[in-house]
Structure 1
Amino acid sequence: MTISESSQRESAGPEALHERLDAIYSDVLEDLTRLVAVPSVAWPNADPRHVADSAALTAELAEEVGFDTVEILHGANSDGSEGYPAVVARRAAPEGQPTVLLYAHHDVQPAGDRDDWDTSPFELTVKGDRAYGRGSADDKAGILVHLTALRLLADELNIGVTLFVEGEEEAGSPSFRDFIERYRDRLAADVIIVADSGNWAEGTPALTTSLRGMASLEFTVRTMKHSVHSGMYGGVAPDAPVALIRLLSSLHREDGSPAVEGLVASEEVAVDYNEDDLRRDCGVLPDTRFIGKGPLASRLWAQPALTIIGIDMPSVADSSNTLHARAGAKVSMRLAPGQDPEDALNRLREHLEAHAPFGAQIEFGASEYGSPWRADESDPILGKALEALTDGFGTDAVKMGLGGSIPFIADLLDVFPKASILVTGIEDPDTRAHSANESLYLPDFKRAIVAEALLLRRLGEQV
């Protein structure tokens, strides 16, 4: 390396990028404040105008970065209705250079019970090293990691860049497949960076290399033609709530692991959790035992999990002396890499039918599923990403799994099978995404921006 090349490398290194970021950081926080202020919930019972406003603001921020084109586009849902708006911005690649697709989403989870929040959910509030607000980390910070990394590099980029900011990820991305097929030519890329995951810990970066899939199923238990007085028929007629409770109790073994037979599971993980740290991070009470078996990380990343996420039966407030004829539930499963989600749903249905008590009838309702994913760790692009994260954070990056699901990654692989997919993010164990008091750890936010800038630059270097 010549002296000129060495000085060039030093002036473009992590320290220089951190200095550039410090110079514009107040503007970046202001942009995040504006994004968080928009309650962009893409659920049927929420005002869709907020999602449109969020898309418009995202497009405005993208225009300021200097893309060649910025568009607000829509896909179609399976019933033909229009999906929520997404932003697609493009900058063409120099001849012979790769194109990188930067993914994030601008929609957010509902705030939930405002009394559970210590701050206003749609007002970014900085307390110490954390910024609180719905979407502060998931995933409006992801948008700004992308945009700010591009700002730091300015005209130094030697790659093509496409920004794709979805508007319905928290609602299950119902129009996603149609969208990426419809706009395939606009979105085609050699590398796809999905900024919707997290880091191992505060100050320790991670590249997510596996994701669990998911499958959910609604069902109803029926024991009688109609409900009757419990005083007159109690002790003879089986009520549906009791049948449902007994059926739900069959879904787990004594140690709390799923009892549905035939689900894929593994106990192999590269790193594991400290039990005290995990107990603190997820809020498990001191005397409550963890469920499952095997390394803690394997229970979160490489083994299935089964959760009862909803029950339909009379509430205590509406209770009466009645034997109820029907009761229902919704069950959600997280699936280990290697599991076919349709097969998992079939096995769940078979289990429910085989364990229905008192000869109760099972009526199956709506279901949905998404595939698990495991990265190709032989891909050299993963090595570049790990190096960039290590240099940007100043700490060795780790490879980790994620217990949650990002089902659309399977769609990206189907439509763009030759692309390298990198799953990054800015969440940490105390982010509390989807919960009250969601927050962004600001020191890691800055480090993530620098790490992505380093990666984008290195992806454009001639080999």
Structure 2
Amino acid sequence: MTDFAAKARELMPQLTEDLIELTKIPSIAFPNHPKEEVRRAHDHLVELLRGAGVTDIDSLDLPDTSPVIMGHIPAPPDAPTVLLYGHYDVQPSGDESLWESPPFEPTRIDGGAIRGRGVADCKSNLIAHIGALRAWDGRPPVGVRIVFEGQEEYGSAFDDFPPQKPELFAADAMVIADMGNVRPGEPTLTVALRGAADLVVEVRTLKKAIHSGEFGGAAPDALLTLMHALSTLHDSNGDVAVNGLRRDPWNGTSYSDKEFAELAGMLPGMPQLGSGPIGERLWHGPSITVIGLDAPAVDTAASAVVPYARAAISLRVHPEQDVKEGQRALVTHLEKLRPFGIELTVTPGDAGAGFAAPTGGPAYTAMQKSMRKAWGNTPVEMASGGSIPLVNALSKAAPNAEILMLGAEDGHCGLHAPNERVLLDEIEKVVIAEATFFAEFAAGFTASLFLDTMGVPPCRATTDPTATPTPQSSRPPRP
């Protein structure tokens, strides 16, 4: 096996320059942003992939969707195939006055880091994939499928596409590099993603606004009615108080109270919502957030009883709870309410399923070993309160593939926020881990094939689709 630590050190100067050039491209796939910039990032990555040894490259074009880069390196005889995923679109920069340097002028900063929009989420992970291929001179001991998405941040037709063409995504393992470490220097595998659903609740009580002095005290106030309804969603501790939403203990790694307060930007003395361990609240239970409110603005408010109010609600559910079931539970809770005897109108919105990855399979074990070699520490498990809709679609397209979620981001990188940054050392470690994983997984796969021929019961998930992997935490394996 190659000394991948030395190889990664040798590759990092060029990988860093490649990351800087890629980050300069404002590849924002949101409406009202130039599509040409997204295409420019696409074309730049295609050239980088060709230089890394991927000669079979195509683009998947779907309606109203930025092109998906699809690449393939055939597997050597009796070797497994690994799918490498990342996305090349980025979030808008937001208020640029909050940035310490222009968001699309990547800037080296103290601590061996680069600052810029999308430098962590997710362009660093694309560069890490390319680095792992370069470490093998484009000839890894596994087959490789490239899936570099161009519209992950906004959502697209690609979210549900993979099951329609499963042959394009056939693999024995998938490295979903859109995550990262819980904190710098602590190798982390993300093993669960909460599901997400939206809904709108509204109330109309009057034909029009009326004088609060003449009518207030008896006329039904729509805003007051809505506030009473929203106040029932949590108990006095701030825990979700809606029946039918699942919450389980979390035994993986987590943040300390102080660390979480710093990451969230909590004001001094501000308490956290809810009770119990932070990991359980963030990753293994529900959350309900009021993300928008239609009501008269304070600065222009009139002395009038409000006739109409509306709120947008974001629901996150346990990774293994049916997200539609969770959404129905919240809808039912609100529809049963009659604040002051007034009926609410509740409209369900989009819903994206959560995901819980089986652990303990051969790919998972190989990645744990590879990450331990790269960082020198035993990997930990964490989950994410966010969601990656495509993960479920990929799992449906290749149901026997093990899904490994990791990356060069870290809990302190500021993704989606001003002054997003990535640590170059984390990119280097991901390159080492992924390049090592190719060798470890190939060796284990070959050994498993040999045992098959000797009549020994297989241990590979890809050999026996009904085999149940051994979980490495308290979570049951995904059905």
Q: What is aligned with 1:448?
A: 430
2:122 is equivalent to residue 136 of structure 1 = no
Determine the C-alpha separation between the residues in 2 that align with 1:292 and 1:174.
36
Residues 49-128 of structure 1 aligned to structure 2 (within 5 Å): 49-75=36-62, 81-128=63-110
Aligned partner of 1:151 among 130, 134, 159: 134
Match of residue 430 from structure 1 = 412
Partner of 2:233: 251
Deviations 1:174-225 (A, max 9, x none): 43212x2444322211111100112122111111112211111123221222
AA aligned to 1:134 is: R
Q: Whole-Å Cα distance in 1 between the matches of residues 208 and 296 of structure 2?
A: 15
65 and 272 in structure 1: CA distance in 2 versus 1, 3 angstrom threshold: closer
Query: Do residues 297 (structure 1) and 279 (structure 2) align?
Result: yes
Residue 232 to residue 433, structure 1, CA distance change in 2 (3 Å):
same
State the secondary structure of the residue aligned to 1:41: coil
Name the CA shift for 1:415/1:168 in 2 (closer, same or farther; >3 Å). Answer: same
Instruction: Specify the SS of the correspondent of 1:203.
Output: coil
2:255 to 261, 269, 273: 273
SS of 1:250's partner is helix
Please give the per-residue CA displacement for 1:118-156, whole angstroms capped at 9, x wherever unaligned: 221122111112211111111111111111110111155
Confirm or deny: 8 A CA contact 1:138 1:427 kept in the other structure: yes
Q: Once the 2 structures are TM-superposed, how far is the Cα of residue 240 of structure 1 from its aligned partner? A: 2.0
C-alpha distance in 2 between matches for 1:218 and 1:45: 25
What TM-score does the superposition give when structure 1 sets the normalisation length?
A: 0.91
Structure 1 residue 214 corresponds to structure 2 residue 188: no
Larger CA deviation: 263-272 vs 381-390: 263-272
AA matched with 2:72: R
Pair 1:196–1:155, CA change in 2 (3 A): closer
For 1:176, which of 159, 173, 192 is the aligned residue? Answer: 159
C-alpha contact 1:222 1:360 (8 A) present in aligned 2: no
**8 Å contact from structure 2 (residues 198, 351) kept in 1:** yes
Q: Helix, strand or coil: the match of 2:435?
A: helix
Q: What letter is aligned with 1:240? A: A
SS of equivalent to 1:411: helix
Out of 318, 337, 341, the position equivalent to 2:323 is 341
> 2:187·2:372 contact (CA, 8 Å) conserved in 1?
yes
Match of 2:470 in 1: none
Alpha-carbon deviations, 1:54-79, whole Å to 9, x = none? 2222222212212121112223xxxx
> Unpaired runs of 5+ in structure 2?
448-479
Once the 2 structures are TM-superposed, how far is the Cα of residue 335 of structure 1 from its aligned partner? 1.0
Partner of 2:296: 314
Task: Indicate the larger mover: 234-243 or 129-138.
Answer: 234-243
Displacement, 1:419? 0.8
SS of structure 1 residue aligned to 2:425: helix
- 1:28 counterpart = 2:10: no
Q: Do the aligned residues in 2 keep the contact of 1:218 with 1:329 (CA within 8 Å)?
A: yes
For residue 175 of structure 1, what is the amino acid of its counterpart? F
CA deviation string 1:238-266 (max 9, x = no partner): 23222222222221111111111110101
One-letter amino acid of the structure 1 residue matched with residue 228 of structure 2: R
CA contact (8 A) 1:223 1:361 kept: no
The residue type paired with residue 153 of structure 2 is: E
How far, CA to CA, are the matches of 2:253 and 2:9 in structure 1?
33
Q: Structure 2 CA distance, aligned partners of 1:50 and 1:228?
A: 50
SS at match of 2:179: strand
Give the aligned length.
Answer: 444
Q: 1:404 aligns with which of 386, 395, 403?
A: 386
Task: Output the CA distance in 2 between the equivalents of 1:301 and 1:262.
Answer: 17
Aligned partner of 1:201 in structure 2 is 183
1:425 counterpart SS class: coil
Distance (Å, rounded) in 1 between the aligned partners of 2:387 and 2:115: 24
Report the equivalent of 2:149. Answer: 166
Q: Distance in 1 between matches of 2:406 and 2:18?
A: 21
CA distance in 1, matches of 2:442, 2:16: 28
C-alpha deviation, 1:299, in angstroms: 1.3
User: Secondary structure of the residue that 1:352 maps to in structure 2?
Assistant: helix
Q: Distance in 2 between matches of 1:217 and 1:174?
A: 21
| Partners of 2:294 and 2:175 in 1: CA distance | 40
* Aligned counterparts of 2:182 and 2:9: Cα–Cα separation in 1: 24
**Are 1:250 and 1:355, in contact at CA under 8 Å, matched by a contact in 2?**
no
Root-mean-square deviation (Å): 1.8
Is the contact made by 1:132 and 1:439 (CA closer than 8 Å) also made in structure 2? yes
Q: 1:97 to 1:144 in 2, by over 3 A?
A: same
Distance 1:228 1:379 in 2: 65
Query: Do the aligned partners of residues 35 and 240 (structure 1) sit closer, same or farther apart at CA in structure 2, a change above 3 Å counting?
Result: farther
Q: Which residue identity lines up with residue 281 of structure 2 in the other structure?
A: R
Which residue in the other structure is 1:5 paired with? none
Match of 1:380 among 359, 362, 374: 362
Higher mean C-alpha displacement, 25-34 vs 417-426: 25-34
Q: Distance in 2 between matches of 1:402 and 1:298?
A: 11
CA contact (8 A) 1:156 1:457 kept: no
- Looking at structure 2, the residues matched to 59 and 183 of structure 1 have their Cα atoms a distance apart, in angstroms, of 22
Q: Is the 8 A contact 1:214 1:334 kept in 2?
A: yes
- After superposition, the Cα gap between the structure-2 partners of 1:313 and 1:39, relative to the gap in structure 1 and judged at 3 Å, is farther
Cα distance per residue 1:254-287 (max 9 Å; x no partner) = 1111111110101231334322222222222331
Deviations 1:402-435 (A, max 9, x none): 2222232221121211111111122212111111
Counterpart-to-counterpart distance in 1, 2:167 and 2:59: 16
Amino acid at match of 1:433: L
